[in-house]
Structure 1
Amino acid sequence: MSNQQQNDPLFQPYSMGDLILPNRVLMSPLTRARSSQPGDIPNDMNAYYYQQRASAGLIFSEATQVSPQGKGYAFTPGIHSREQIEGWKKVTGAVHMAGGRIHMQLWHVGRISHPELQPNGSQPVAPSAIKPEGAKTFISADSGMIDVPEPRALETEEMAGIVEQYRQGALNAREAGFDGVEVHAANGYLLDQFLKSGSNHRTDEYGGSLENRLRLPLMVIQAVIDVWGKDKVGVRIGPTGSFNAMYDENPIETFGTFARHLNDLGIAYLEVVEDSFQGNHANGRPEEIIDAIRNVYKGTYIANGAYTAEEARERISKNRCDLVTFGRPFIANPDLPERFRQNAPLNKWDDSTFYGGDEQGYTDYPTLKELEASV
């Protein structure tokens, strides 16, 4: 190995809680919508997909609904039934057998859903009854993308039940064999909806002031910490994201304050969706907002931003982050760390197979070794 490879920022080991990450190339949480039906149950194909990518420093599972109410897209997996727990055991067992590490991302979509996906055809729930203009979902294999309706505002007395959904999801993830959990508070889903002023117009103790908007997310995170311990819990945020019709009037204040609270809680890491997401423009000035977070959050900072390997190296070298998550490159390159190590060409991803379907565009992307063997 050359000195350059030895000094590669992407391949310096990193300690996070009781995990030693062999590299800093992490796999993003990636919705792939391939769970078994009925029941949204992880299956053998899912286990193989994750096992193929076990060389990641850490894998984040696809977003996983903590309750039937938390579901927003057809075919996405859950962590609220016995069958789902058993299905996820296949995944964690396969990843661990291959020497990998995996955290579950706990998810409640809030208003980004449809009555067809909700128990008893109910309206999706949210902090406030505000329709997310332009937000879409899919309810079946042939539905196409359809508009999300106006949600129902949660009643004050329902908040404890929301917290309990996450607490039980965290317990179930532990039983399923995960190494830790990530609370999804980004990309326009329920906790992000509470955090941001554009989607939270409540007048009770869960809305209005910044302190009130932070209340439910912090209650959820504390409940998850109570299950796992702070060293095995992380949070994903999207401070500038506009995906799913999101907006905040003062993201520097909102997310600087939230990051300070998370620092005080002592969580293992904070994953930040920097700049845009899914092609949606960023609200505000991302680098200033990142600085506001970095100034107060002293734990492990994970950057997510469609970075190339070279950009990731630069950000780590300049102390802009500790670790980097990669999404679409990991879809198409199960051996992505090795390709980065060798500066090898990357397979191109097929975005027509991102969501739903079978092995095509899921487990059939070749590794470098497989390509060499086929020559």
Structure 2
Amino acid sequence: MDFLNPKTLPPISTFRIMNNQGIIEDETQMPTDVTNEQIVEWYQNMVFVQILDGIMAEAQRQGRISFYMVSAGEEGIMVGSAAALGPKDIITCQYRETGVFKQRGFVLKDFMSQLLATRNDPGKGRNMPVHYSGRLKTGVHAVASTLGTQIPHATGAAYALKMEDRETRTDSPRVAAAYFGDGAASEGDFHGALNLAATRDCPVIFICRNNGFAISTPTREQYRGDGIASRAIGYGIEALRVDGTDIFAVYQATREARRRALENGGRPILLEFMSYRISHHSTSDDSFAYRTQDEVHPWKSRDNPIALLRKFLEHKGLWDDGREKELRTTIRKDILTELKAAEKEKKPRLSSVFDDVYAEYSEEQEAQRQELRRLMLKYPAEYDADDYEGGIQGL
């Protein structure tokens, strides 16, 4: 008898292209389909996310929005992987994928409309901040707080894409991609999604952001196996572990995963991007209750995707302190301007509370709508109806 002992097996290696000085040690690993202009754009998008996160987290402390989650330490995963996906691919994600939305076409007004729940929000102000909705513009379905539910959604979408592309015999086949954290990989949805994707050969890419924490629980307390990539093997799925601070490795891994996912009729691929959550889990969390500042500091000052890519750009003569200062000043000014503009926007119509549940209001909904209207008319000082599009008439 030969029992498999995981402690005797070698750990899964981590794919990377840049070293920690931003130097490419093997030029043959570099993507050949990316221009210097695109690399600079990646950097600008990551800096945008960083500054947006800082301003909106501060805005939450000021009471201007109710909640926020930042992406510090994971910007390279989001921007690099989104750049490698196809324009018509279907994406489902969690709540730390601001960079995915930015890379795929979200502009400042889109972000602010959702964060401040204005009438311009496609989600009609129903969801928490940072739970963006941009399927028509970006191919990314609405974010949900329920942990892990987006993973089987991506498997189902991939199976539908496979059937549709097969029927139309398209020359541009599509994949689905699901973003999730290491904590979500402990949910049953993760396991069901992987097993179904494997048995039905679904062209889906499972993108795990292993940032070291599931809220306050470090990975060493979450599981005993070799990360998340090792789980894919048990389901018969190819996997790759990648340095999530290296945007070139992220891009190349996602690009190759997409090619493999579409190969020979389709199959699932899992990517485990290793990173570190520099920030608190959310504005509702104080991470220094369960970790030290000394642990965070190296990742914040040195070992993060923005610092790494900046070193690369400076080595290549594509960036300098002047451009850095100009970029950060411009982005900060634009964000503050759009934030103030969004604060003056009307909220969605009051009737949107009841809309989109059924094709027509049910008797119960209509009764509830009338009762809400009665109360708002009787106690106008208790409600801010004028802040909503159409005022009380919008109900």
Shorter-chain TM-score tier? 0.3 to 0.5
Structure having the higher strand fraction is 1
TM-score by length of 1: 0.32
Higher relative contact order (CA 8 A, sep 6+): 2
- The structure that has the greater radius of gyration is 2
Structure having the higher helix fraction is 2
TM-score by length of 2: 0.31
